[in-house]
Structure 1
Amino acid sequence: MAGADHDDCCRGAHAASQQGEFTQATVWDACRDGIQEAIETQLDDEQAPPVIIDGLPTIGKTRHAKEIAFDLDVSAAILTHRYETRDQHLGLAAEHQKTVVEVPTLDRDCPTRRGEYGSDWAERINDYRLRGASPTYLHHYLQDVLPCMQDGDCPYLARWDAVEEADVIVGGPAHAALDRVVDDRVVIFDEDPGTAYRTEFDANQLSTAISTFLSKNEDLPIDDHFGLIGAATNEGMEAIRDAIRDELSDNTSIARPTEAVDDDDGHAEAPTAVLAMLELGGPIIGDTAPTEYDWDDQLREEAGLDYVELPDGSQVVYDHAESRVVIRRPPTLDAARAVVGLDGTPVEELWRGRLGVDEIVSWRILCDDCRARYLRDVIGYEFVQTTSHVKPYSSGEYVNRRGDFGVIEAVANRHDTTPGVITTKSAAERLFEEPSSEPFIDIERVTDQIADVKHYGALRSSNDFTGTEVGVVLGSPHPGDRPLQITAALEGFTAVRGDEGKGTDLDYGIPERPFLRHYREHKIAQAVLRFGRTTAATVYIHTGILPEWLSEMVTVGPEAVTIEERSEGQRGVIRALLDEGPGTAAEIANREGVSIGEKQTRDWLKRLRSEGYVSRDDSQPYTWGANGLADAPHTAHVRLPELE
């Protein structure tokens, strides 16, 4: 097994065999030992590749990384997305003798950015940052006018001295791009760095940024985006192409931060986009378009994308369909003493490209069998899958309010608690914020039965649902074909959706479907394991898409769940009983808002009585009254399985 000398199926099993039992403490020990060994292996051998620790979100990766970093004999950097997690590291620093310092950020350390000198200055600084200027560059370039630099260095700059001297520094993934953060340190990435090193231009932004840069640069022979297209695609303009290359390729970095502050429409990466467009032959596809670079014909012909790596190491994908450019500038980690990534659902292809390394290895803490043993037997998870349908909810278009609300209310009633809910951002807005176009779908009635709602995109390293004993995961995420194809192209793959495959069979022609798994199955697994974490939890999974290892742990599947949506007329009867009290079938059928006739009303009242929500007396005609109807799921009748 990679990174270990024993014959057990995984590190967790090995730790259990050594200690004589398989417990939470055993698995945590295995995680800690794995991180420790990953670091020591690289410290002992400079040629050893970076290591990803493949460990479930519940096994203490963050805490172990912090403790190990504090105990090292060499300096370390812990890089994590969330300020909350950084604060946890800093808060525990008092327990150790090492000096621990947070890497300064504009949002926390610059008074100008925080608005202490007015909103105009704060917005101005934020705009420069969005256009690619680094915080340090801004403070030096604008030092004569920047309010926070008038009485000495801004706290943002002043705190860098402490960072460079600290034993342990805590920052974000973007800080890995700074040599003074990573050089001669053990670097620990707490979760995948994601898009920390990416810059994206849509068609309008691209044209504006390129034209702005070209128009004011007198050393370049063209002055706008259209001129660049002509130079890139016209065989007779070789001299112009050479002049542009000479001007832009001689620099250590093609990016120029001055472009972000010298013009309202400028961007630091505009020169990178110019050179990339030139080398890719521009947006006009032609066999004779001259370029110094070879492009991938399959990527261009099948996916409508081009990829190029520029002299400064930046990687660029051009989208012909949308005239979109994505620039990635991975960090340089060659001078780091060791590099370790922590990830509950890692994809090696993504980690390797995002960190800019040629080789990376993944060490699993628990094999699939031991994952099941740990989550079900040790932690006490129960997973109920309520549907076999994919339910692609990223756009919000396919959200089913009646079914989803019915599941939420049924879960809340079954467990007599307010569950946490995780879904996509668009689905959350559609479900809980947009008014319903259908009669008697009471959003407030449902939100009152929910502890909190989070969306997939806000879950990275989140502990918000720790200790929550009941959770609901609604629908599956998917960014759309184009983002997935661009992500794949950056890693050297051509992703093309198959003609027939969709839903659970969706395929992009790449073995093992790494990028689809990253965006879909892995995000669902991360969401499911946000509940409980260190305590038992029951999680209802309202999508048919799960990683294979998690689907094998499902306690009860969709065949044991029934969801019968209530019609407008049926909901009207429920509301009439709740609002106006008991009545005969005829009386209820004639009430405002009831759209079905007397016979259908009577049949529906009998059904509600069989469900236990309506009572009737012995008189003729019967008088029907609410009997627990206020607690009944009002949009759907949902039968959930009994759990032990």
Structure 2
Amino acid sequence: MAGVDPDDCCRGAHAAAQRGEFTQATVWDACRTGIRDAIESQLDDEQASPVIIDGLPTIGKTQHATDIAFGLDVPAAILTHRYETRDEHLNLAAEHQKTVAEIPTLDRDCPTRRGDHGSGWAERINDYRSRGASPTYLHYYLQDALPCMQDGDCPYLARWDAVEGADVVIGGPAHAALDRVVDDRVVIFDEDPGTAFRTEFDANQLSTAISTFLRRNDDLPVDNHFGLIGAATNESMDAIRDAIRDELSDNISIASPREAVDDDDGHAEAPTAVLAMLELGGPIIGDTAPAEYDWDDQLREEAGLDYVELPDGSQVVYDHAESRIIIRRPPDLTDSRAVVGLDGTPVEELWRGRLGVDDIESWRILCDDCRARYLRDVIGYTFVQTTSHVKPYSSGEYVNRRADFGLIEAVENRHETAPGVITTKSAAERLFEESPSEPFIDIQRVTNRIADVKHYGALRSSNDFTGTEVGIVLGSPHPGDRPLQITAALEGYTAVRDDEGKGTDLDYGIPDRPFLRHYREHKIAQAVLRFGRTTAATVYIHTGVLPEWLAEMVTAGPETVMIDERSEGQRGVIRALLDEAPGTAAEIAKRERVSIGEKQTRDWLKRLRSEGYVSRDDSQPYTWAADGLADAPHTARVRLPDLE
């Protein structure tokens, strides 16, 4: 690993050897040094590759990035998704003497977009933005009409002056596409830029945007989407194809923001889509690919996708099954002084493609052994894995409300504190918003026992569960085959599901499964480490797919956990005892809420007594009464491991 003494297993161990102790401060020092060394290696050598700092959540990457950026002799840009994280960087910047500026955004800085001049104008601006027009372009193109431009420049434009001269600027990943943000600066991406540089057209949007663009441009020899497909697939139309290429490929950037504002159906990336369809059209309908393009037969035949890189550097994937295209336009970072990414669970293949760089290095702050030492011994995490099953919860289809509610109630009982819960968005809706189809499954009873619910998609850089002592991660995320295949195709890989591999053995035929790990195991790890963070926490992980390094830290595994779902009959007995007076088995069996006979009722009462939730007197026949039953997990009998 670059920059580390070969006798040390990782930067954390190296820092500990120098200090003579392995503490949180030691690991934070290692992270700070790693970020600084990554920047200096590129400042000292223009040929050095960009670097990803592979550092777990909890080791202070955000604070270190701010401190280091202000300590540099060159300007810097820190780019991160969430406004909350940008505010954190800005607050930390107050401790430094150099100038700092937040890169303006429409959401925060444009009165028109904020709705100060009415919802009609706000919706109009939103519509233009959704069709690819940049904020700056909109203000200059519409300046005579925009309310925020009537008394001088809109605050959005005015605040760019401060950006131009600031020592450190703070904004979002999409700002990396602007030369005035990244040129001659050290650029620090605080977390993976994700889909910041992607545009997607579904079949209807694609056809409409292309036809609108062709109809408006008299210099092009076809005037609608079908004409373009004909030109792409007809061998006799070489001259037409060449004319379209000549007209579009001469531009530095094929994209045209004017297309987004001159027609209700236009889009700034319509010219890109036209040129992409011209290059991709041959194999979509015809049998023979154009001779000038080297098609990836495996990608087309096995995954049903095609890929092309256009002259302006934009990359396009075409999805045959859904007739849609995905356009990615990576930023040009060639004139940046240095580029560093901060990521708790990085995948090099994704970082390379998303930043548009040929090579990138990943520097790990902690090796697997030191990660375990840090998380368990220093921070004080305890991890309990409650199932060996994958629990694919992204669609919500496989959510098991009885088992999940039982686990939540049992965890709250054990720790006597409300746990935080992280699951997929669909699972959260299914669990806590949809009415149960079975009797006596009480959503309110469960939500009263949890601190908060978040879904995987809302966790990027989130600190919402910092300090939460108990957490539960329910189910695993997976976007579905198509999003994963498209992500892989953009990075030059063909991802095809192996029919033999399912569950924990799911495989897409790519060594080390980088894209599956990114979408599934890595998101689980990020979720798990949202709890506690700087303080000890116990986290229950209700899925069987964990990164190997995290699986090795599990204190208690699925074999130590029992979740026995309660039937409708047993739930009815619990409800009857909670809502009505004590009674004999025969009396309870006759109550309206109970759907089972006297013998089964007696058997369930005995089981509840063995669990410690029901008592009986010494009379004959016995009279049964609730005894702590209000605290019992009502949808499942749950046994958790003793963690003392």
Aligned length: 644
Structure 1 position 550 matched with structure 2 position 544: no
Paired with 2:371 and 2:323, the residues of 1 have a C-alpha distance of 44
Paired with 1:320 and 1:405, the residues of 2 have a C-alpha distance of 41
Paired with 2:642 and 2:120, the residues of 1 have a C-alpha distance of 59
Question: What secondary structure, in the 3-state scheme, does the structure 2 residue paired with 1:43 have?
Answer: helix
Structure 1 position 113 matched with structure 2 position 113: yes
Structure 1 residue 291, shift from structure 2 partner = 5.5
Question: What secondary structure, in the 3-state scheme, does the structure 1 residue paired with 2:494 have?
Answer: coil
Paired with 2:397 and 2:222, the residues of 1 have a C-alpha distance of 45
Question: What secondary structure, in the 3-state scheme, does the structure 2 residue paired with 1:86 have?
Answer: helix
Equivalent position of 1:603 in the other structure: 603
Equivalent position of 2:354 in the other structure: 354
Paired with 1:92 and 1:391, the residues of 2 have a C-alpha distance of 40
Report the AA paired with residue 597 of structure 1.
Answer: G
Question: What secondary structure, in the 3-state scheme, does the structure 2 residue paired with 1:92 have?
Answer: helix
Equivalent position of 1:199 in the other structure: 199
Structure 1 residue 216, shift from structure 2 partner = 1.5
Structure 1 residue 472, shift from structure 2 partner = 0.1
Please list the CA deviations of residues 383-442 of structure 1 after superposition, one character each: whole Å capped at 9, or x if unmatched. 000000000000000000000000000000000000000000000000001111110000
Equivalent position of 2:570 in the other structure: 570
Please list the CA deviations of residues 608-629 of structure 1 after superposition, one character each: whole Å capped at 9, or x if unmatched. 0000000111111111111000
Structure 1 position 40 matched with structure 2 position 32: no
Structure 1 residue 6, shift from structure 2 partner = 4.6
Report the AA paired with residue 633 of structure 1.
Answer: P
Equivalent residues in 2 for 1:18-417 (5 A)? 18-281=18-281, 284-290=284-290, 292-417=292-417
Please list the CA deviations of residues 252-282 of structure 1 after superposition, one character each: whole Å capped at 9, or x if unmatched. 1000101100111111001101100100125
Report the AA paired with residue 351 of structure 1.
Answer: W
Structure 1 residue 283, shift from structure 2 partner = 6.4
Structure 1 position 455 matched with structure 2 position 458: no
Paired with 1:369 and 1:481, the residues of 2 have a C-alpha distance of 33
Paired with 1:290 and 1:64, the residues of 2 have a C-alpha distance of 51
Percentage identity across aligned positions? 88
Equivalent residues in 2 for 1:430-469 (5 A)? 430-469=430-469
Paired with 2:453 and 2:415, the residues of 1 have a C-alpha distance of 18
Question: What secondary structure, in the 3-state scheme, does the structure 1 residue paired with 2:284 have?
Answer: coil
Equivalent position of 1:498 in the other structure: 498
Residue range with higher mean Cα deviation, 410-419 or 285-294: 285-294
Paired with 1:571 and 1:92, the residues of 2 have a C-alpha distance of 53
Structure 1 position 12 matched with structure 2 position 12: yes
Please list the CA deviations of residues 17-67 of structure 1 after superposition, one character each: whole Å capped at 9, or x if unmatched. 000000110000000000000001100101000000000011111110011
Paired with 1:200 and 1:350, the residues of 2 have a C-alpha distance of 18
Report the AA paired with residue 252 of structure 1.
Answer: I
Paired with 1:138 and 1:191, the residues of 2 have a C-alpha distance of 29
Structure 1 residue 290, shift from structure 2 partner = 2.6
Paired with 1:171 and 1:581, the residues of 2 have a C-alpha distance of 62
Please list the CA deviations of residues 578-613 of structure 1 after superposition, one character each: whole Å capped at 9, or x if unmatched. 111211111111111211011100100010000000
Report the AA paired with residue 437 of structure 1.
Answer: S
Paired with 1:581 and 1:66, the residues of 2 have a C-alpha distance of 63
Contact 2:5 2:14 in 1 (8 A): no
Contact 2:69 2:76 in 1 (8 A): yes
Paired with 2:507 and 2:120, the residues of 1 have a C-alpha distance of 48
Contact 1:75 1:168 in 2 (8 A): yes
Paired with 2:172 and 2:358, the residues of 1 have a C-alpha distance of 22
Please list the CA deviations of residues 429-480 of structure 1 after superposition, one character each: whole Å capped at 9, or x if unmatched. 0000111111000001000001000000111100000000100000000000
Paired with 1:4 and 1:45, the residues of 2 have a C-alpha distance of 18
Q: TM-score, normalised by structure 1?
A: 0.99
Report the AA paired with residue 13 of structure 1.
Answer: A
Report the AA paired with residue 294 of structure 2.
Answer: D
Paired with 1:5 and 1:621, the residues of 2 have a C-alpha distance of 77
Report the AA paired with residue 214 of structure 2.
Answer: L
Change (3 A) 1:122 1:130: same
Structure 1 residue 292, shift from structure 2 partner = 3.1
Question: What secondary structure, in the 3-state scheme, does the structure 1 residue paired with 2:428 have?
Answer: helix
Q: TM-score, normalised by structure 2?
A: 0.99
Paired with 1:285 and 1:30, the residues of 2 have a C-alpha distance of 55
Contact 2:282 2:290 in 1 (8 A): no
Paired with 1:217 and 1:593, the residues of 2 have a C-alpha distance of 71
Report the AA paired with residue 311 of structure 2.
Answer: P
Paired with 1:576 and 1:324, the residues of 2 have a C-alpha distance of 55
Question: What secondary structure, in the 3-state scheme, does the structure 2 residue paired with 1:383 have?
Answer: strand
Paired with 1:292 and 1:594, the residues of 2 have a C-alpha distance of 74
Residue range with higher mean Cα deviation, 277-286 or 190-199: 277-286
Please list the CA deviations of residues 295-353 of structure 1 after superposition, one character each: whole Å capped at 9, or x if unmatched. 21110111010000000000000000110100000000001000000000000000000
Which sections of structure 1, spanning at least 5 residues, go unmatched? none
Report the AA paired with residue 643 of structure 2.
Answer: L
Report the AA paired with residue 12 of structure 1.
Answer: G
Paired with 2:602 and 2:130, the residues of 1 have a C-alpha distance of 62
Question: What secondary structure, in the 3-state scheme, does the structure 1 residue paired with 2:446 have?
Answer: helix
4+ residue runs over 4 A deviation: none
Paired with 1:595 and 1:226, the residues of 2 have a C-alpha distance of 63
Structure 1 residue 73, shift from structure 2 partner = 1.0
Report the AA paired with residue 510 of structure 2.
Answer: I
Report the AA paired with residue 180 of structure 1.
Answer: R
Please list the CA deviations of residues 191-218 of structure 1 after superposition, one character each: whole Å capped at 9, or x if unmatched. 0000000000111111111111111211
RMSD value over aligned CA atoms? 0.8
Report the AA paired with residue 636 of structure 2.
Answer: A
Paired with 2:512 and 2:65, the residues of 1 have a C-alpha distance of 30
Structure 1 residue 284, shift from structure 2 partner = 2.8
Structure 1 residue 285, shift from structure 2 partner = 4.2
Equivalent position of 1:630 in the other structure: 630
Paired with 1:291 and 1:270, the residues of 2 have a C-alpha distance of 25
Question: What secondary structure, in the 3-state scheme, does the structure 2 residue paired with 1:95 have?
Answer: coil
Question: What secondary structure, in the 3-state scheme, does the structure 1 residue paired with 2:114 have?
Answer: coil
Structure 1 residue 71, shift from structure 2 partner = 1.0
Paired with 1:284 and 1:390, the residues of 2 have a C-alpha distance of 36
Report the AA paired with residue 254 of structure 2.
Answer: I
Question: What secondary structure, in the 3-state scheme, does the structure 2 residue paired with 1:473 have?
Answer: strand
